[in-house]
Amino acid sequence: MEFAKQAARLADEIQDSTLQSRTHNNLALLCFERREFSTALHHLLTAFRATNEIQDFQHQAVVKYHLGLVLSKLETSVELPESSQTLDNSPLQRSPAPVGSGEDIVAAKAKDSNRSNTVRHSSSKKLIPDQVLTTAKDCFLQTETLVDVLPRQDPVLQVLAHGCRGEAEYYAGEFHTAEAEFSIALQRLQEILYPEQHKVKTGSTTTATSKTTSIQAIQATEVIKIQGFLLSYMGCTQLVEGKFELAKESHQCDLEMALKHEDIHAQLRAMRNLALVYNSTQRYHDAIPLWREVLEIASVLQNKADQMMAYSGLGIAMKELRVTDQKGEFKELLDIKENNPLHIFLRQRALAIELGDKNQQIIAQRHVVSTYEFPDSSIDIEQRLAECDTLVRLCEQYENLQYRGDAYRSLANALTAQVARLGARGARFAEAVNVLTQKRNSVCTKYQEATKTLKAATAAMILAANDDDMNTLGLKKLHQEDKHPRPPVTRVDILQRR
């Protein structure tokens, strides 16, 4: 670190832009590894200014990729320094690929996810706009664009840029675009891993040679890890889109690679994601042994976050298997005490409390409450009410209307069950029934208000997005039946960010 700082200082003293771009970029990477993201951002902005001064677009692509990584961690955006040069006078304009100004391309790609319609010829000289607010996704988009048009392409950077762009789109909820980006990244990676096959298909010798050189620049194990992450993200995206068979194939491929290369971390990830697919397709009997494996590996790795996820998935599988096992085929399995969903969810909640994860506490508490909603006469009504009250208190501290609505609904159902039970015992419980009825009605009113607010907010958001995009994208207006809220995707329930 000290040598990197000294090199950056010397580059600043002699005002050598080429050295500044390299030394500050390298220093930013060291800060990134130490999780000093704000400091890394400062050095990357310095490196970006230096690449602008010397019009070094080859290295600027690398810097922008690193900028995207840092902005993603900081969850913020920046105003990139202005460039006083036109791209018409830059080496990029002499590239055989059609290209407008770098920011024009980014703007076009942001408006239309169809890559074939984003790159256009520039009919006039345009300056790159100064003080452009740039997000992580923009950085990855710009990196893709630069790498695609540079005379000396960097296929490894192409893979990384497309992969990170896909991750950004995934967490932004743009799953179709995310899947496309992951597909491109996997295709580019295959071309790197098997250059001879690509050469035969395309008849290109230069491309195959450059990619062979690129693969020599990085370790094979790193390539395998990248491929595993891409398959993992691809499978998770397909799962959210409802493409269950494709999701299963992606995660199975990820698991096979992890087993082949004896990567225990990748095995945990692949098994967890494959178990999620089985849960989603009601193949609970297949999911249960996978969740057990995930629990065992997470315990060995002392990864409490993954243990918490495994308890969640295992509890859901056990609970749903109780409901769907109408013929009693798994009665022996379900009668085992340790397979009781309530006990499993209580372990999940204990870990969430230990980790101080409020969101996961709510998820665990929702699971606990759900176990009391079985039509079982042996259920402890008082305990059910206590758990529902706990859920309501947690959700009222958390600004998520979906969670609040579910909490109010659960409490209202529990109160209704208690009222029905007391009402059946006779007139001597009339006063208690009256108190519980009033409480139930109050909770129902809160539930209606939360639901109404959620629907109105979601409809307004959809309409606003629809109106903004109609003129620019040529989209049709949403039908009335499309204006309804959808439950949010909880990130940790799908894929935990690393």
Boundaries of every domain in the chain: 1-112, 153-263, 282-369, 372-465
**Considering only 1-5, 332-336, 358-362, 411-415, which range has the smallest mean pLDDT?**
411-415
**Residue 428: its pLDDT value, please?**
54
Residue, of 487 and 378, whose pLDDT is higher: 378
Q: Is the pLDDT of residue 219 over 90?
A: no
Whether 17 and 36 have beta carbons less than 8 Å apart is answered as no
Digit-coded pLDDT (tens) for 412-431: 777 777 777 666 566 556 66
In the predicted structure, residue 18 carries a pLDDT above the cut 50: yes
Top pLDDT among 273 and 483 is at 273
Question: Averaged over 338-361, what is the pLDDT?
Answer: 91
- Cβ atoms within 10 Å of 239's Cβ, excluding its own: 24
CB atoms within 10 A of CB 445: 12
User: Confidence class of residue 222 from pLDDT cuts 50, 70 and 90?
Assistant: confident
pLDDT for the residue numbered 461: 65
Lowest mean pLDDT among 100-114, 181-195, 450-464: 100-114
Chain centre distance of CA 283? 24
* Least confident among 131-140, 276-285, 389-398, 486-495: 486-495
In the predicted model, is pLDDT for residue 60 greater than 60? yes
pTM for the structure as a whole: 0.71
Q: Average pLDDT of 237-266?
A: 94
Asked if residue 230 has pLDDT above 90, the reply is yes
What confidence tens digit (pLDDT) does each residue in 112-159 have?
A: 434 333 333 333 334 444 455 888 888 998 888 888 888 887 888 889
Decide if 284 contacts 265 (C-beta within 8 A): no
Q: How many residues are listed for the chain in this entry?
A: 498
Q: What was the pLDDT predicted at 410?
A: 81
Instruction: List Cβ neighbours of 317 (8 Å cut-off, separation of 6 or more).
Output: 275, 278, 279, 284, 287, 288, 291
Average pLDDT over every residue of 386-415: 81
Tell whether the model's pLDDT for residue 107 goes beyond 70: no
Q: What pLDDT shows up at residue 354?
A: 94
* pLDDT above 70: percentage of residues in the chain: 71
The average pLDDT across 20-42 equals: 90
Q: Which of 432, 324, 442, 330 is nearest to 382 (CA)?
A: 432
- Residue pair 179/234 in contact (Cβ under 8 Å)? The answer is yes
Q: What percent of the chain has pLDDT over 90?
A: 31
Average pLDDT of the segment spanning 366-389:
79
The pLDDT of residue 88 = 40
Most confident of 29-33, 147-151, 153-157, 205-209: 29-33
Rounded to whole angstroms, the Cα distance separating 279 from 17 reads: 55
| pLDDT-wise least confident of 262-276, 359-373, 394-408, 449-463 | 449-463
264 confidence band (pLDDT: 50, 70, 90): very high
What is the pLDDT, as a whole number, of residue 345? 93
The rounded mean pLDDT for the chain is 76
Say if residue 169's pLDDT is above 50: yes
User: How large is the average pLDDT for residues 374-380?
Assistant: 64
40-54, 91-105, 371-385, 477-491: which has the highest mean pLDDT? 40-54
- 467, pLDDT greater than 60: no
Could you write out the three-class secondary structure of the chain? Answer: CHHHHHHHHHHHHCCCHHHHHHHHHHHHHHHHHCCCHHHHHHHHHHHHHHHHHHCCHHHHHHHHHHHHHHHHHHCCCEEECCCCCEHHHCHHHHCCCCCCCHHHHHHHHHHCCCHHHCCCCCCCCCECCCCEEECHHHHHHHHHHHHHHCCCCCHHHHHHHHHHHHHHHHHCCCHHHHHHHHHHHHHHHHHHHCHHHHHHHHCCCHHHHHHHHHHHHCCHHHHHHHHHHHHHHHHHHHHHCCCHHHHHHHHHHHHHHHHHCCCHHHHHHHHHHHHHHHHHCCCHHHHHHHHHHHHHHHHHCCCHHHHHHHHHHHHHHHHHHHHHCCCCCCHHHHCCHHHCHHHHHHHHHHHHHHHCCHHHHHHHHHHHHHHCCCCCCCCCHHHHHHHHHHHHHHHHCCCCHHHHHHHHHHHHHHHHHHHHHHHCCCHHHHHHHHHHHHHHHHHHHHHHHHHHHHHHHHHHHHHHHHHHHHHHHCCCCCCHHHCCCCCCCCHHHHCCCC
